[in-house]
Amino acid sequence: MIAALFYLQYHSTRNRLVSRFKRLKQPKYLFGAIVGGIYFYFYFFRYVFRGYTGGARQAIIPAASPEFMVLMESLAALALLVIVLLAWLIPHERAALTFTEAEVAFLFPAPVSRRNLIHFKLVRSQLRILFSALLLTLFSHRFGGNGWIHALGWWLILSTLSLHFLGSSFARTLLLDRGVSNRLRRLLVFVLAASVGAVVWLWAKKTLPPMTSADTADFTSFMNYAQQLLNAGPALYLLYPFHLLARPFFAPDAGTFLAALAPALLIFLLHYFWVVFSDVAFEEASVEASQKLATRIAAVRAGNWQAAGKKQKARRAWFKLAPTGPAATALLWKNLIGVGQIFSARLWIILVVVVAVVFTGFGGSAHAQNISIVAAIIIAILLGYSLLIGPQLLRLDFRQDLPRADVLKTFPLHGWQIALGEILAPVTVLAGFQWLLLLVGLSLTVYMPGKHETLMLAIGISAAVLLPALDFLMLLIPNAAVLLFPSWIQSGKDSPRGIEATGQRLIFAVGQLLVLLVALVPAALAFAAVYFPLKFAFGPVTPMPFASLAAAVIVAVEAGLGVRLLGRLFERFDVTEEPAS
């Protein structure tokens, strides 16, 4: 029987890979694969192949000291402890092995034992684990160490954690069957964890010298203190099994690795027997989970990635939509309701309250000046990211609605009206977020050294005027791309995967940046044309908002032309061609 399950897994994987290779015949995937391959080589693989032979070994950071590696091992053990604790604290469902609907339909009524189903699940999870181990190795290997040791170390850690998650879900189900509710279980685990934490804290208070400002003065001192805390007393015993599991990964050579391997493998095997010999009924919950999975996949394939995340709730509209008026407003209204699934009014209120509390809290602080400078820098970075990354993340436009393009096309609207309506919602949300950041940034000027309020105000107003127009422009580009190359652009979470998909994304990111730079040239000229004449009359600060307004007008005109173009693209878009996802 197990041979049939292996057959299923082997051929599913093989066929998937073959179809991936076959699609490389299409130039768009081939170019994507080439660019993606180059990216992966320069980002990861060159550290594997280059300079690691012939004595020219050179990692990004110099070789770490043994003491540092011991500390890293302790921190890794602590991280594993936290992960394991969370696995007992957070989940609440009964044990469910994730099968597809087809697997449920074929395997559950078939004469396949429960243990064989678990084995099938374990074998299948190994594919994911091996791939994750490879990626993590490529990453961790950049910082030095032996690649094989890292790979095997990651595999051991990930496999054992995977078994632990499964085992804990079985234990959770057994507890539920015996009348121990999720709430009681969580309380017990929490009390246990808190008690152990208290013991460690008491021991540290009694044994270790109190933490002084010198301990937090620099990274090394802080790490030394952490070393003392984690490698002695009760923490050492508490973390011991986790040390055993993490140790092979941190082994500096093959000999040490082999010595560390046996205890780690023992932990792995204990987990394996725990899972395989647990007699827990998982079938019913698995059927339910497979149906949820199928619903999620269907939602994602229909372009509705929000529905894939969690059960949706009906949301109030952001404003009342009158039955007559500009039709594009209807699309804005609709998409804002969709946005409401992510950015609810409650979230905005919480944000404002948090900001207000933080302000009043640190207003009287002696460090207010330094903190305000750091906060201002963070806000500036966030603003930059929001402009560049925001349009990629807020996809409540054509990228979401493209699978329903046939519905949109039956509407008695011009293409530009649909394009405008589609883009307005992400622009609104993005501009709202940016204005909030600007408001916070401007408020910080109160605490800043020197008298820069006027300058900061001018910069803030300029940014507030310019950003929405720039957002609009930035959103036009991916929307045009999705209409021009629907199969190139991901339209949901169920995005194309693999090296070729990464390459495609890189190509478009570069393209987007180039288009933005070209579009900014006329805006920059308009800015200069207004700014420099006014500068002679009013000084360097006052003309800023006016020059920005001129630049924003140019960007808005460009965006308007872009909407026209986007509308035409939508009118010509053939819904029968290759779908977006």
Which residues form the interface with another protein (CB under 8 A)? 299, 302, 304, 306-307, 311-315, 317, 321-325, 327, 329-330, 333-334, 337-338, 340-341, 404, 406-407, 409-414, 572, 574-576
> What residue type is assigned to position 129 of the chain?
I
Give residues with Cβ within 8 angstroms of 406, minimum separation 6: 575
Nearer of residues 278 and 417 to another protein, judged by Cβ? 417
Closest CA to 227 of 78, 64, 61: 78
Measured distance CA(439)–CA(457) in Å, rounded: 10
Nearer of residues 174 and 293 to another protein, judged by Cβ? 293
Closest separation in Å from C-beta 58 to another protein: 52
**Beta carbons within 10 angstroms of residue 236's beta carbon:** 15
Instruction: Read off the tokens for 340.
Output: 């409401």
Instruction: Read off the tokens for 524.
Output: 């920059």
Instruction: Read off the tokens for 68.
Output: 């540092």
Nearer of residues 183 and 310 to another protein, judged by Cβ? 310
Nearer of residues 30 and 321 to another protein, judged by Cβ? 321
Nearer of residues 57 and 572 to another protein, judged by Cβ? 572
Nearer of residues 405 and 550 to another protein, judged by Cβ? 405
Rg of the chain taking only CA atoms, in angstroms:
29
Closest separation in Å from C-beta 573 to another protein: 9
What is the SS3 assignment for 3? helix
Measured distance CA(46)–CA(548) in Å, rounded: 44
Measured distance CA(565)–CA(574) in Å, rounded: 16
**How far is C-alpha 515 from the geometric centre of its chain's CA atoms?**
26
H-state helical runs in 485-573: 499-538, 543-572
Q: Give the single-character DSSP code of 576.
A: T
Closest separation in Å from C-beta 470 to another protein: 28
Full 3-state SS string of 551-572? HHHHHHHHHHHHHHHHHHHHHH
Nearer of residues 115 and 568 to another protein, judged by Cβ? 568
Closest separation in Å from C-beta 409 to another protein: 5
Nearer of residues 23 and 334 to another protein, judged by Cβ? 334
Measured distance CA(368)–CA(361) in Å, rounded: 10
Instruction: Read off the tokens for 546.
Output: 């006016």
Closest separation in Å from C-beta 67 to another protein: 55
Nearer of residues 34 and 337 to another protein, judged by Cβ? 337
Q: Give the single-character DSSP code of 544.
A: H
Closest separation in Å from C-beta 564 to another protein: 16
Closest separation in Å from C-beta 575 to another protein: 6
Closest separation in Å from C-beta 252 to another protein: 53
Rounded to 5°, angle at Cα 153 from 147 and 154: 90
Closest CA to 400 of 580, 217, 227: 580
Measured distance CA(379)–CA(387) in Å, rounded: 12
Closest separation in Å from C-beta 398 to another protein: 14
Instruction: Read off the tokens for 17.
Output: 């890979």
Nearer of residues 154 and 333 to another protein, judged by Cβ? 333
Nearer of residues 81 and 575 to another protein, judged by Cβ? 575
Closest separation in Å from C-beta 488 to another protein: 19
Measured distance CA(168)–CA(394) in Å, rounded: 36
Measured distance CA(76)–CA(73) in Å, rounded: 5
Closest separation in Å from C-beta 425 to another protein: 12
